[in-house]
Each structure stands twice: as C-alpha cells, then as structure tokens.
Chains A and B, each alone.
Chain A
Amino acid sequence: MIKKKYIYNYKIISIVLFLFLIIWQLIALYFDKPKIFPGIIYLIKISFPSFSNFSDNNINPYLSSVNILFSNSIITFIRILVSLVVGILCGISWGLLIHYFGSTKKINSYLLTIIKNIPLFALIPLFIYWFGGKIIGIYIYITFGIFTIIATNTYHAVFNVQPSLISQGKLMGADKNFIFRKIIFYNIQPELLASIRNIVGLTWAFSLGAEYISANNGLGYLLYQSYLYADMGKLIIIAFLYSIYGIISLIIFNKISGYILRWH
C-alpha cells in the first residue's frame, strides 16, 4: 500500500516537473532572448558548462562544471550543517533556560523579541565590517539566524506543556532539573521539530546571505559572481540546485523527525 502511494506521488511529481520544463522552454522560445530568459536547451548547452570558468582545469567543461558545483555545494552544506547543530543546540538551551531561571524570564523574553525582530539581511553589511574576509563570520551569521528562531519557538513551546504532566512529576518527587530534562524537553518536541523543519528550509537562504558577505567559495559565492556578470543561466541553475537541496534536506529531516516522534 505504502509503496504504491509513493510511486503514485513520484509519478505526479515527475509529470508536474516535465510540464514545467516544457512551459519554460516554450516561453523562452517565444521571447527568444537567452541572455535574459534562457531556455532549458540553452541552460544545458551553454550555461552549465560555463561553470568551468571557475576552475583552472578546463579540459572537459561538463566534468569541470560538475566538479565546481559539487565541491562548492559540499562547502555550503558543511557550513549549514555546523551552523544548524550549533544554532539548534544554543536556541533550545536558551529557550529552556529562560523558563528555568524564572526570575529573569521577563528580561530574557524581551531581549529575545528584540533580537528576533532584527531583519537578518540588514545584518549583512555589519557582518562584513565586523568579520571582513573571515570564514567565522559566515558561520556566526547562519547560526544567529537559526538560533533566534529556535530560541523563540522553544520559549513559546514551554507554555504549551500539559500542566498535569509537570504536576505528576512533582508529586513523584522529581526536582526542577529532572522535570526540565525528562518532561518539558520531551513534551515540546513535536512543536520544536515543526519549527526545525521550517528552519531546515530557511537555512539554505541564510547560507546564501552569509556567503554574500565575503566568501570566496560556496554556492552563495557562485551565485554572487553570476549576478555580478548578469549570467542568468548560471543564476537559474544555482537557484534550481538550492531548490533540490532544500527538498533533499526536508526528506532527510522528515525521516529523522519521524523516528524521534515515533511515540506521537
């Protein structure tokens, strides 16, 4: 049953994608301005191999382009993964600590609201000044974006914990520490994982912003360079790659969260 359902879904996705590509090509043919609106064939024949311009080894432009895109994707992926782990851990910890130290709850929640409302893209020039060409700036930028969202969501999720579960823990002799670790942390998991799911998609956008700062590699760097030379073909290919990576990360995340929330 499940297998049939998946095959059916994939069939629908393939049909939609195929139709999308056809329509795209038709529009491109209609306008006939490949520099502004390149068609699929132009993207494959001209734009894709031109990624080899970023490489010193230019014997086979297709292979060289694959190598360039792959290596820069890996660099971006590592930046995202490290930032996700650090941002999520710090965000959850801070969101929980605000409740743990009840006396500072108000100050901390206001602080969180202020930080959360700073537009992340407005920080790009600041980060350029603060970190210059240092790679650490990219990591801090992505981590900061993840941290603010996760911390805010954790803070709010704790308010939704079923009170009788905490009462149950208290009556059975659990101390504050035990209640936070064994009751609150688990009770907020469904809400937390829903916000992490959104973050996983958004992080690719954060990485793009971060690599705009001063990176000399990564997908964001390739995108920025293509933008400087108004190379629409390359811009579209990278945007398409971002979309694929976003979908893959969501599929992987859904598998992981399905395992974590097997009790839900």
Chain B
Amino acid sequence: MPTLINIIGLYKKFTSLNNNIIDALSNVSFNIARGEFVSIIGPSGSGKSTLLNTISNLTNISKGKIEFFENKKPTIGYVFQDNSIFPWRTVIDNITFALEVKKTHTKTKNEIANMICTQIGLNPEIYLDKYPKELSGGEKRRIAIGMAIAYNPELLLLDEPTTQLDYINKWKIQNLIQDIWLEKKMTTLLVTHDIEESIYLGNRVVILENGIIKADIKIELPRPRKNDLRNNNLFIEYKQKIMEYFTKVDD
C-alpha cells in the first residue's frame, strides 16, 4: 500500500496565558498507508487532537513537515469530539451539508442521505426529518459519522468518537466504524484514550505521551472483529502491552 501521509519531525508549540511555551507535539514522525486504520492513544493533553488538527490543517505546525501522497492533500472527513453536527439543520440537511457546499443536485443529495442513514444504522423514514435535539447521544454520534463519510473522503479523522457513551452504545459505534472502514477502505485515523477501542479498531496503535511517540504497535487480529474478540488471549496481551507503556510513564 502506498503511503498516504508522511509526518516528519512535527513540532507544535502553544503559548499559554502566562506566556509559557507548551510543546503539544515534539518531533512526531510516522506514516500512514492508504487504506490503513491507525489508532492513536494517549492520556488527556498528550497532543492527540492537536495531531489531527495539524493533519487537517486546522492548526499551523511550528516545525516539521506533513507530506501527502503525490503532494495532493486528501479530502478529509472529521468527526469532532463534540459531535459538530449543526443543531439548526435536520438529519438530512446535516448529512448532506458537504454535498450542499458542492452544489449537488437535490435528488442526488436525497438518495445519498437515505443511503448514508441506512449505513449508519438509522431508519431514514424515521430520522431524516428530525432535529439533533430530538436524538440521543449515540444517534448524534452516528449522524456525525454519517456527515463525515457522506462525500467519500480519502481520509477519515475520528476524535474520540465514543467518548461519553455508555458501554452498549460504545460497542455499537465501534462496530459501525469498523463496518464503514471494511466497506469503504478509507484511510482512518482514530484518536482515543480507550485502550480496548484502539486495539479493537486499529491495524496499528500509536502511543502518544506528552507530545512524543512512545511506541507504534502493529495489531494482528483477524477482521471483521466481533465483540467476543475482546476476551481473546491475543487481544488481552495487546492490552497488557499497551498498559505497560502507561505504567512506565507513570513510574
């Protein structure tokens, strides 16, 4: 698989309110192959979201380079931590926002909205005309994912997509993400602080601590992964391995 993104010696510095320089990212280097699913795990404040923001060009980098395949920036779908669905738009209007920007014909938009709604596990007849305020946390998360994949982006960025959800919904969303990835094979970068989630979904788990990459672990578990895999010995071994890194950091 060709490399889609090559991150070389990336630094991101922030100035705090009392004028201290904070290194959000320090000499971060790794690459992501086209079609790969990479999980980035780390505690709060480790620079995970900053990394996504630099890749998507929402934040400027202080030093280093981000190279894209054939020097062409891929189209990006981003699921933000706080959902980022537009509360004043109905589900159909949220899902088709990107298509509206691209001035897609209404008929095509409706067809895509129906298809995406089914894909994210919601009945279009019931949900398309609802406002976000009428949806549960899990349903909102599904819509946010639907919005991000509606225009078939080459790169999908997921910033803690299951945070604040109960266990059942968490697993449902994780399986939805996996199903979408298996179907579309779009390069996916997941940021999470949930060790299980990072192993369950990723082909690789990158451990980030204080803006520095501590480890890059290849996950060799079969696909499609089912919920009972979480009790598999190999899965538990991966989990312990990653937990050891965090214990080391703590020590």
Query: Which A-B residue pairs are the 5 nearest by beta carbons?
Result: A172-B98, A186-B88, A164-B84, A164-B80, A263-B131
Shortest CB-to-CB span from A189 to chain B, Å, is 7
Contact A171 B56 (CB under 8 A): yes
Asked whether, in the complex, the Cβ of B84 is within 8 Å of the Cβ of A165, the reply is yes
Instruction: Check A102 for interface membership: any CB of B closer than 8 A.
Output: no
CB-CB under 8 A from B80, the residues of chain A are 164, 167-168
- The closest CB in chain B to the CB of A179 belongs to B101
From residue 96 to 114 of chain B, which have CB atoms closer than 8 A to chain A?
A: 97-98, 100-102
Q: List residues of chain A with CB within 8 A of the CB of B88.
A: 186-187, 189, 263-264
- A162-B97 in contact (CB<8A): no
Name B75-102 residues within 8 Å CB distance of A.
76-78, 80-82, 84, 86-89, 97-98, 100-102
Instruction: Report the bound CA distance from A172 to B97 in whole Å.
Output: 8
CB contact under 8 A between A262 and B84, given known A172-B97, A173-B101: no
Is A174 an interface residue, CB under 8 A from the partner? yes
A264 to B131 CA separation, bound complex (whole angstroms): 9
Taken together as a complex, chains A and B put the C-alpha atoms of A264 and B97 apart, in Å, by: 19
Of the candidates A168, A174, A178, A182, the one whose C-beta lies within 8 Å of that of B84 is A168
Within 8 Å of chain B (Cβ to Cβ): is A235? no
Is B223 part of the contact surface with A, judged by Cβ < 8 Å? Answer: no
In the bound complex, do residue A264 and residue B87 qualify as a contact, i.e. CB atoms below 8 Å apart?
A: yes
A172-B98, A172-B101 known; A167 and B84 CB under 8 Å? yes
Across-interface contacts of B98 in A (CB, < 8 A): 172-173
A183: chain B residues within 8 A (beta carbon): 86
CB B80 to nearest CB in A, in angstroms, measures: 4
Chain B interface (Cβ within 8 Å of chain A)? 56, 58, 76-78, 80-82, 84, 86-89, 97-98, 100-102, 131-133, 147, 151
B89 to chain A, nearest CB (A): 8
Whether B86 pairs with A186 at a CB distance below 8 angstroms is yes
Residue of A nearest to B80 (CB): A164
Chain A hits for B86, CB < 8 A? 165, 168, 183, 186
A143 CA to B150 CA, complexed, in Å: 45
Q: A165-B84, A263-B131, A264-B133 are in contact. List 20 more A-B contacts (CB 8 A).
A: A162-B82, A162-B84, A164-B81, A167-B56, A167-B78, A167-B80, A167-B84, A168-B78, A169-B101, A171-B78, A172-B101, A172-B151, A173-B98, A174-B101, A186-B86, A186-B88, A262-B131, A263-B87, A263-B88, A263-B133
Query: Does A170 interact with chain B (Cβ within 8 Å)?
Result: yes
The B-contacting residues of A in range 30-67, CB under 8 angstroms, are none
User: What's the Cα separation between A264 and B132 when bound, in Å?
Assistant: 9
Is A173 a contact partner of B78 (Cβ separation < 8 A)?
no
**CB-defined contacts of B102 to chain A, threshold 8 Å:** 173
Report the separation of the CA atoms of residues A263 and B133 in the bound assembly, to the nearest whole angstrom: 7
Instruction: Report yes or no: B76 in contact with A164, Cβ–Cβ below 8 A.
Output: no
CA of A200 to CA of B88, assembled, Å: 24
Residues of B within 8 A of A170 (CB): 58
Q: Complex formed: what's the CA distance from A182 to B99 in Å?
A: 13
- CB contacts (< 8 Å) of A262 on chain B: these are 131
**Bound CA–CA A28/B78 (angstroms):** 70
Q: How far is the CA of A178 from the CA of B87 in the complex (A)?
A: 17
- The complex places the Cα of A149 from the Cα of B110 at a distance, in Å, of 41
A170 and B75 CA atoms in complex are apart in Å by 11
Give CA–CA (A132, B239) in the complex, Å. 83
- Taken together as a complex, chains A and B put the C-alpha atoms of A251 and B21 apart, in Å, by 53
Among A169, A171, A173, A178, chain B packs the most CB atoms within 10 A around the CB of A171
Quick check: A164 and B82 within 8 Å, CB to CB? yes
Question: Which residues from A are CB-within-8-Å of B77?
Answer: 171
Cα-based distance from A186 to B102 in the complex (angstroms)? 20
Chain B neighbourhood of A178, CB < 8 A: 101
Alpha-carbon separation in the docked complex, A174 to B77 (Å): 13
The CA of A46 and the CA of B102, in the complex, are separated in Å by: 70
Determine the residue in chain A with the shortest Cβ distance to B157. Answer: A171
**Which residues of the partner chain A approach B100 to less than 8 Å between Cβ atoms?**
182
